Every structure is written in structure tokens, then in C-alpha cells.
Chain A
Amino acid sequence: MNEIFNANPTIYTKSKRSLRKSPFETGQSLWVDDIEQQDWSDASNVEPIDQDEVFDLIRSIADPEHPNSLEELRVVSAEQIDIGNNLITVEFTPTVPHCGMSTLIGLSIRVRLMRCLPPRFKVDIRVKPGSHQSELAVNKQLNDKERVAAALENPALLETLEKCLATAGSQE
């Protein structure tokens, strides 16, 4: 049993899933290698992407300490996703401002997008401004590729992460 930062979070109903099936959502663990074989860089293959498609990729990621999805807890929403030129910025809202799970939640979002999106997309992940007491520290850590890379080589952390991601992409 671990410390629970927010023992009783507010649960919200889920919105309708967007009808359009994203071409990116082809698999749950599409690694960079596989993508390369598909030659994403080929200009003819470049697909535009929108907020809803990115949201579909991350909405059903499980919260590390609750049996709910990030969407149900309103940690993520389509409005908090910004699409630029090959740059995706995902903002998320921790359930409580002292949430110690924020880096883990952010990491799960990053890994999910890293696995599903073609490598041409750069991804920035941030907590919603004012929603976390260590906002800057969390943002800094989530966007440090070296820290992220090292984290994914930690077996205990990776196992926890895989649990959060096991539900990602599920339709229910």
C-alpha cells in the first residue's frame, strides 16, 4: 500500500469518443523501429493530426493510484492539447496541487505518444499553469529527454508505467 495523494478524487463522466479512428492508433506499443520500417518520413505518408486524435491516444491511460482513466479524472482533455507544426503540446491537470504522481502521469502520456506517433512529432508536456505546487520542476523533468530515457530503463518504474498504459487505447 502506498501513500495516496488524493484518496477520493472527483470522477467525471467520459465524453463520446471521437468517431474518426486515428490512423496513428494502429497499435499499443509501436516502437520507433517499427515505425521506421514504415518510412514515416516519406512525404506522401505525412498525415495531419488533430486534437481529438491525440486525445484518443491518451484519454484511457489509467491513473497510477486510482482505477480510473485520466479522462475520467479530467487530468487530460482535448482542449488541453495544442497542435503546431509537427509540435504537440499536451497540458494536464493533476487532481490535487501536491500530487506526487504528476511526473508519473506526465511520463505515461509522453511514453504513450512516443510509442504511437511517428517520430516527426516533437512533444512537449506540461502541467496546467497554477495546478501544481511544483509546476516548474515537474515540467522541467518531463521535458528532459535524458531523464525520460533513463527512467524507461528502470525496471520498477517501467512496470508501473506499463500498468498505466495497459488500458490505453481500450474502447470499453
Chain B
Amino acid sequence: MTFSGALTLTDLNDFITPSQACIKPVEVLSPPEDGKQSGSAFTEIKIDSAGSYYEVSSLNQDASSSKGAERKLQQAQISLNDCLACSGCITSAESVLITLQSHIEVLNVLSTNPPPSSPDYRFPVISIAPQSLASLAATVSSTSRFPISLLQILRRVQVFCTGVLGFERVYDTSFARHIALLEHTREFWERKRDEGEARLPMLASACPGWVCYAEKTHAEMLPFIARGKSPQQVMGTLIKSWLGGIWGKRPDQIYHVAVMPCYDKKLEASRQDFYDEIHSTRDVDCVITTGELELLMREKGWDLSVPVENETTPRHPTLSGSDSRQEPVLPELIQHPGTSSGSYLHTLISAVTRMLPDPLETSVRAIRSSDYEEYVLRNQRTGEVVFKGAKCYGFRNLQNVVRKVGKETGVQIGRGAAGRIAGAVRARTRKIGAGGETELKGYDYVEVMACPGGCVSGGGQLRPIAQASQRQVDEEGYPRNWGDSGVRVESGGPQDTIAGPKWGNKEWTKEVEKAYWHDLPTPPPSPTSDLLPEVDQLAIRVKVELCRPQDSASQTDWSSPMDAEAERRRRELLRTRYRAVESDTVGLTVKW
């Protein structure tokens, strides 16, 4: 198996690298051969040219066959679910990801898909994250005279996906994100009002790298992580449970591909929580990265820098009119002002601002860099701190947030070492901690993202060209010729003799950030798009059609109360769960 060049290359910048080889024990499925005494067998293993292993039994040799009986040995299969349940590595197990969620897999499914008339036809749908569009836009713009907008890129990708690949629908995920943000806000108020056992601070749940890391090494953080699904998984619900109904398709009759800026989104899609057992299907069937989409386009000879027809004309979304038999046109590229990683914090800040009668004053403090910023909302009249939040990107900052939240909430951090520190010491720390006034108030919310720079610089994004050529060896230390592996390498141009910081080109991240906000200033102040109230109307239609409240007429707002059964459906469709992963306990497979 050869690794896709794009994957290996971009993975070099994955924020959390696997520290150990895969240790998942593999079940041996072949039954023991009858009558054969253990210890008396004479066998050898042969490998054929295709790399398959054969067991050759020398006992079975007889006159009729000069060769011993050969039995093809089953290859060990490790599923993505095994990866998620294992603590051997923190994030991606490359080879597993490649076979199960790759652009090759997408092509395979599409090419073996029977014609639409067939009952086995799977209706192919693709949805693309705005950060992925921004990465493509920045790359195309870098060699173009004029900047190319996200809308233009979306149109070009739409023409490619429908015309060349045969997808039936192509969406961007901003409407799903809008619903995720509405549900996120709702959850925040639930926690604020102390409903249920969930507490504050609430920590963002959209970053699967962070969620995975917390499940494996910081179980004490899990109660704080928002239960709301990420935009990718909300999109999965929208397509399989809502639009599917309108199309008259069962979930398993739809093949849903998501294009994401991040490898860990593949792991997220594979979580058992997002597996529909009734229909044996997932909300998102396959996740490919921006880099893999670009590879697909290149393999199909598609030039993204060539304009397509009407590429600057926005579509008119169906916003109201709840005729559930009519397929809605989803709003496209909805701007959520704040951060390019989903604006979770800013959405809550504006919700808090709207909720309180008194005018509030916002102060922002960068802690060392723009990847860690604290936002404090004060009542202008009383000076009281009403909300304290932070955005925190990157593995290093994440460590500090985990420490801080652990301290503030008094939960035992990590694997319990802190719990062993003498009580007197903790008392002393508490005494000292009771200093400043703002320090006293803990965070209400933290927008946690594992990648420095946030989602626009995710591990699956396109890299600035110069960086690729600097690296002559791959992750495992083997020399790689990136050009031969299908990775575009621009030759020439002076290269720094001193290696740059690990997280790569900040300048490039700025370009992608700029493309993400297109013509808006970066980041925009805080204009709420005129569209949003109408988008909310469509969101309410989604809620009514998915949750089926008895009194659908009274649903005027996302947070309008519904009957218990409808609330149960809402939780089922829009929220998820997390669980701590035990560390390795099988002696045979311990890596030491």
C-alpha cells in the first residue's frame, strides 16, 4: 500500500503526533485446525508477490501435490473504532485512515454505485467546510491577479463534484454550523442555569483532536466539554435525517462525504455515537481533507483556477414557507463573526450581551499570542464581571487551559498525581490564589481548538508550497521525493537555512484567514448579517421537522420549549457523549 502523498505531507503538521505505534491487539479469526496438536505442526509462512501471507503446512504433503497445502492467512484488520478506543496513539493512525477514509475510497464508492434507477443506488452528497474553501481560495488566489472569493471556489467545486464526480448535491457546512451555534448557546444557558449535572466552564466540542485528547488523557475535563454536535455531525444529521426525508431516501441510501480542514474529523465521523444501527450507516460516511480534495481535482485534471458560469451569483435560499415536501435551498456561506474556527466564543458573547439589560463593556487580553485571548464582559454600570471567556488554540495553550480549569473547578487533574499533593499545599495555593478580583472569577466558556491558528491552519489544509520542499524525509524518517508522490513542489526560491517554527508559516495562515473572511476586515468587528434572522427561520423549520413537537405553531425561536418527547429527539439528534479511554492493560502489547 502506498501512502497518499498529500496525506503524509500535510500530516507532518498535525498538532498532536502519535507517540507510540499502534498497540491494538488483533483478534485471530481462523479457527484452530482440528486434530492438530499444538506443537507438532510443521508450517512455514510464505509471502506472495501481492504481499499476502500464506501458511504452508508440510504435514499435508502427499504424492498428488508436491506443494504443501497453502492457506491464505487473514490480514489483521483494525477499524477506526479500534483506534478511538485505544490509547496507543493520540490521534491518527495513518494507514487505517487511508484505507477507510480516503479520496480513493470516495472514488471507489462512486464508481461502483449502481445507476440511480437501481434500489441500491446511494445518493451521493458532499459537504464542504468553509475553512477548506478558504484554504483552496488562498491557494488559487496566490497565483491569480485578483483574489478569488469563497463563493467562486464553492461554485467551481460544485461544478467539479456534480459534473466530474457525479455528486447529486454539494453544500457548504455553514448552515449546519449555524444550527450547531444555536444549540451551543442553548446548552450554555442550560449549564449557566445549573440544569442537570453539567457545569461551567463550558468547553468547545467542535475540535475532534481536543475531544480525543481529553478522552485519553484528561477525563476530568469531559464533563465540561459541550455536548452539542460539531457542524460536521450536524450536517450529517441534516442530510441523513432531514433532507433524506424530503428526498425520500433512507439514511443508508445516501452516501455523505465531508471535506474538512482536519484529519481528526475522520475519527470523529467514525465514533460509534454517530453510527445508525437501524440502517447500518453513519451520518457522515467518509471524511476527506482539503488536501485530498485537491488531489482528487488534480487526478481528474480539474483546474480550480478556471472560472465557471455564474460563479459570483449567490443562490436564493428557501428560508421560510414550511412546505415539507419542497426541497429547501440551503443558505450558503453564512458568516458568523468572531473567529475562523467557528465563532463559538463570540456567539456566546453576543448572546450574553443580548440577554442582559445593562450595557456591557468587553475587554480583550492576549496571553502571549493571539492564539490565547481572554474576553471579559463587565457591566458598565456596576463594574461586575458577567462573563469571562477565552479562545485557546494549539496544544501548548490547551495544556494551560486544562491546568487552569482544573485548578478553578477543583477537579483532580490528569492521572491523579495532583491529588497526591499534601492537603496543606493545596490550602496554601488557595490562600495565595485569592488575590486579584478578576482572577477570582473562573472561565464561563473556552473555545478550545487543538491546532495553533485554529481550523484555518488545520492538519488537512493545503500547505504553502515552499514548506513542502524543505522536508526531504517523511514522518518515519524515510527519504521522500514529494514531487513523485504527487505533491506539487515549487522549485527555486531561497530557503531559510534555519528551520522555521514547527507550526509553519504564520504568513500563510494569515492568507487563509483573509480568504475565509473574504472582503470583510480580518476579523470583522461584529456585524450581524442581515440574513441571520431569516436563517434562524429555516433553522426553526429544521427543528420542527426533526423533533416533531406537538405544538409546532408555538415554535418561534430555537429555544422555544417543546414537549418532553420532542426534547428527547432534539438531544438525540443534536447532542453527543464522551467517554474516558482506559490506558493499555494488555501486557503482550505494551510498548516500552
A residues with a Cβ closer than 8 A to B are 1-4, 6-8, 10-11, 64-68, 72, 96, 101, 103-104, 107, 141, 147, 150-151, 154, 156-161, 163
Decide if B45 touches A2 in the complex (CB within 8 Å).
Answer: no
> In the assembled complex, how far is the CB of residue B17 from the closest CB belonging to chain A, in whole angstroms?
19
- From the candidates B38, B42, B586, name the one contacting A2 in the complex (CB within 8 A): B586
Q: Can you pick out 24 interface pairs between chain A and chain B where the beta carbons lie within 8 Å of each other?
A: A1-B27, A1-B28, A2-B586, A2-B589, A3-B25, A4-B28, A7-B28, A8-B42, A8-B43, A10-B43, A11-B39, A11-B40, A66-B39, A104-B588, A141-B592, A151-B590, A154-B590, A154-B592, A156-B585, A157-B587, A157-B592, A159-B587, A160-B590, A163-B587
> In the assembled complex, how far is the CB of residue A166 from the closest CB belonging to chain B, in whole angstroms?
13
Decide if B587 touches A3 in the complex (CB within 8 Å).
Answer: no
B373 at interface, CB cutoff 8 A: no
Q: B residues within 8 A CB of A107?
A: 592
Q: B residues within 8 A CB of A4?
A: 28
> In the assembled complex, how far is the CB of residue A66 from the closest CB belonging to chain B, in whole angstroms?
8
Q: B residues within 8 A CB of A147?
A: 592
| A3-B45 CB under 8 A given contacts A101-B588, A160-B587, A160-B588 | no
Q: Tell me the nearest residue of chain B to A158, going by C-beta.
A: B587
Q: How large is the interface on B (under 10, 10 to 19, 20 to 34, 35 or more residues)?
A: 20 to 34
Q: Tell me the nearest residue of chain B to A154, going by C-beta.
A: B590
Assembly CA distance A64 to B26 (angstroms): 16
Q: 8 Å CB contacts to A: which residues of B539-592?
A: 584-590, 592
Q: B residues within 8 A CB of A161?
A: 587
Decide if A2 touches B26 in the complex (CB within 8 Å).
Answer: yes
Decide if B586 touches A156 in the complex (CB within 8 Å).
Answer: yes
Assembly CA distance A2 to B592 (angstroms): 18
Q: 8 Å CB contacts to A: which residues of B371-410?
A: none
The 9 closest A-B pairs by CB, nearest first: A160-B587, A151-B592, A8-B41, A8-B43, A3-B26, A157-B590, A2-B25, A11-B39, A156-B587
Q: Tell me the nearest residue of chain A to B590, going by C-beta.
A: A157
> In the assembled complex, how far is the CB of residue A63 from the closest CB belonging to chain B, in whole angstroms?
11
Q: 8 Å CB contacts to A: which residues of B43-94?
A: 43, 45, 55, 57, 76
B residues with a Cβ closer than 8 A to A are 25-28, 30, 38-43, 45, 55, 57, 76, 584-590, 592
Assembly CA distance A7 to B588 (angstroms): 15
Q: Tell me the nearest residue of chain B to A5, going by C-beta.
A: B45
- Tally inter-chain residue pairs, CB-CB below 8 A: 64
Assembly CA distance A154 to B42 (angstroms): 36
Assembly CA distance A106 to B454 (angstroms): 45
| A103-B76 CB under 8 A given contacts A157-B587, A160-B587 | no
- From the candidates A7, A68, A150, A157, name the one contacting B55 in the complex (CB within 8 A): A7
Assembly CA distance A147 to B57 (angstroms): 39
Decide if B586 touches A6 in the complex (CB within 8 Å).
Answer: no
Assembly CA distance A67 to B590 (angstroms): 20
Q: A residues within 8 A CB of B590?
A: 151, 154, 156-157, 160
Assembly CA distance A78 to B589 (angstroms): 29
- From the candidates B28, B585, B588, name the one contacting A64 in the complex (CB within 8 A): B588
Assembly CA distance A96 to B45 (angstroms): 9
Assembly CA distance A15 to B41 (angstroms): 20
Q: Tell me the nearest residue of chain B to A156, going by C-beta.
A: B587
| A156-B584 CB under 8 A given contacts A1-B28, A3-B26, A6-B45 | yes
In addition to A65-B588, A141-B592, A160-B587, 10 A-B residue pairs with Cβ atoms within 8 Å of each other are A1-B28, A2-B25, A3-B28, A7-B43, A8-B42, A8-B55, A66-B39, A67-B38, A147-B592, A157-B590
Q: A residues within 8 A CB of B585?
A: 156
> In the assembled complex, how far is the CB of residue A4 from the closest CB belonging to chain B, in whole angstroms?
6
Decide if A3 touches B76 in the complex (CB within 8 Å).
Answer: yes
Q: Tell me the nearest residue of chain A to B32, going by C-beta.
A: A7
Q: Tell me the nearest residue of chain A to B589, going by C-beta.
A: A2
Q: A residues within 8 A CB of B587?
A: 156-161, 163
Q: A residues within 8 A CB of B76?
A: 3
Q: A residues within 8 A CB of B43?
A: 7-8, 10
Most buried by B among A1, A7, A65: A7
Most buried by A among B27, B45, B584, B588: B588
> In the assembled complex, how far is the CB of residue A28 from the closest CB belonging to chain B, in whole angstroms?
19
> In the assembled complex, how far is the CB of residue B32 from the closest CB belonging to chain A, in whole angstroms?
9
> In the assembled complex, how far is the CB of residue B86 from the closest CB belonging to chain A, in whole angstroms?
14
Q: Tell me the nearest residue of chain B to A98, going by C-beta.
A: B45
Decide if A10 touches B592 in the complex (CB within 8 Å).
Answer: no
Assembly CA distance A130 to B25 (angstroms): 27
Q: B residues within 8 A CB of A3?
A: 25-26, 28, 76
Assembly CA distance A3 to B24 (angstroms): 9
Most buried by B among A64, A72, A154: A154
Q: A residues within 8 A CB of B586?
A: 2, 156
> In the assembled complex, how far is the CB of residue B312 from the closest CB belonging to chain A, in whole angstroms?
56
Assembly CA distance A158 to B585 (angstroms): 11
Q: A residues within 8 A CB of B588?
A: 2, 64-65, 101, 104, 160
